[in-house]
Amino acid sequence: MRLNTMKLAILSDFHLGYERFREDAYIQAKEALDAAAREADVLVMPGDIFDMRNPKPEVLAEAINIFRDLSDRKWNAKVTRFDGSGKNFTELPIIAIPGTHERRAYGVEDPVDLLALAGLLVDISDGRVFVEKNGEHICIFGLGGIAEERFKEALKNADLHPEPGMFNVFIFHQSVHELLPFSSDFITLDDLPVGFDLYIDGHIHNKVEMKAHGKPFLIPGSTVLTQLKEGEQEAKGFFIFDTATKEYLFKEIRSRRFKLVKIEVDGLEPEKIAERIERGISSEIAKESEDKPIIRVELAGRLMDGFKGIDIDVQSAIKEFKDKAIIEIGKGKVESEQKDVDIASLRSGTLENLSIKDFGLSVFVEKLAEKKYELEANPRELFDLLAEESNKEKAVKSALDLLLYKKERA
């Protein structure tokens, strides 16, 4: 058997249309894809090209612009065969699956399907594709992102077997228990189908290099900052994998700098905390950055007695530095004596001028804000829905409708 000589670029989670850093998402996706196209024979994208299942026309236009430029290039490899549930309209070696952000009901077109229908890429969700270059073939199998609890069954149903005599790749878009040990729904690397030469996952937004069944298991991470978590401080980029040598390297792209600044607030009064916030941000801003950096300040600890999280002034710092950095300040890990008192008085029924329902709503909204959880739906509408419907099943169904299908209804 002759050796394969194909170079795969592995890029993921562009999140085009991501509201918060819309321009970054576009610029960084384009830079990564252009650089990848210059170096690789095949582009492989394991999901979340878009940030949403129903992108606006202007977001679709961004994607079409990027992929149309790629389709104008001269490619040395081409698709020779496609087996899948949808249709394929191109020989371009540009291969993708939808991620969890794009997934819609079975049989309903998602935005990745639209790019495939336009002949700009090959969507191999629940399918596979053969790619050929100079007489060498590889086979890439794909399973699009789905709800975690359904993935093990989907794997079982797909019953994937590598194609003999060639290099085989499996791409998917799910959580993996070894990386996120929170739920028994998540697959372990041992659950992956055996016999493949390369396993590629999306979904997780930082770079991961591990092994599955003795072969490389790679996650390139997102090309744009989204979660502002510790792991996202490293450089963004993509992998180039050489099927002849089985070696790979990570290519960095220019991306906005992100720094997480942790501040202890144990026993401190709000004024002192404000000073520390300012000092922490100042020292980060002093460092060299091409663009405005993103700085997330995370406060943690138990406040001086008599104060609550709300007493900490975060707006002044955000305003003061707004021309030099994009700042976010999280109070989710701040504890205070005050809140315990509120709950105690609620229990004893002495909380005045506040109905239990209003108190519940304020806690609900506060918790959402602390967790940086942004709802499409109005939190009050959601809370009312959950609180007022006495039929549990109906309440959950209506809430999910509100959360997931808000856009379609609007």
By the criterion CB under 5 A, which residues form the site for Mn ion? 13, 48
Separation of alpha carbons 221 and 215, rounded Å: 19
Which residue number has the CB closest to Mn ion? 48
Separation of alpha carbons 168 and 199, rounded Å: 9
For residue 165, the minimal CB distance to Mn ion (Å) is 34
For residue 204, the minimal CB distance to Mn ion (Å) is 8
Looking at the Cβ atoms of 21 and 75, the one nearer to Mn ion is 21
Looking at the Cβ atoms of 229 and 394, the one nearer to Mn ion is 229
Separation of alpha carbons 51 and 102, rounded Å: 7
For residue 378, the minimal CB distance to Mn ion (Å) is 25
For residue 118, the minimal CB distance to Mn ion (Å) is 22
Q: At residue 99, what are phi and psi to the nearest 5 degrees?
A: -100, -170
For residue 201, the minimal CB distance to Mn ion (Å) is 11
Separation of alpha carbons 200 and 192, rounded Å: 11
Looking at the Cβ atoms of 103 and 215, the one nearer to Mn ion is 103
First to last CA, the chain: 57
Check: CB of residue 168 under 8 Å from CB of residue 196: yes
Residues near 122 by beta carbon (within 8 Å), at least 6 away in sequence? 79, 82, 88, 90, 92, 94, 95, 96, 116, 129
Looking at the Cβ atoms of 95 and 139, the one nearer to Mn ion is 95
- Adjacency order of strands within the sheet including 248-252: 122-123, 94-96, 42-45, 7-10, 237-242, 248-252
For residue 45, the minimal CB distance to Mn ion (Å) is 12
Looking at the Cβ atoms of 138 and 224, the one nearer to Mn ion is 224
Looking at the Cβ atoms of 100 and 243, the one nearer to Mn ion is 100
Residues near 272 by beta carbon (within 8 Å), at least 6 away in sequence? none
Q: Kindly tell me the burial class for residue 346, based on how many C-beta atoms sit within 10 Å of its own C-beta (0-12, 13-18, 19 or more).
A: middle
Looking at the Cβ atoms of 229 and 272, the one nearer to Mn ion is 229
For residue 17, the minimal CB distance to Mn ion (Å) is 12
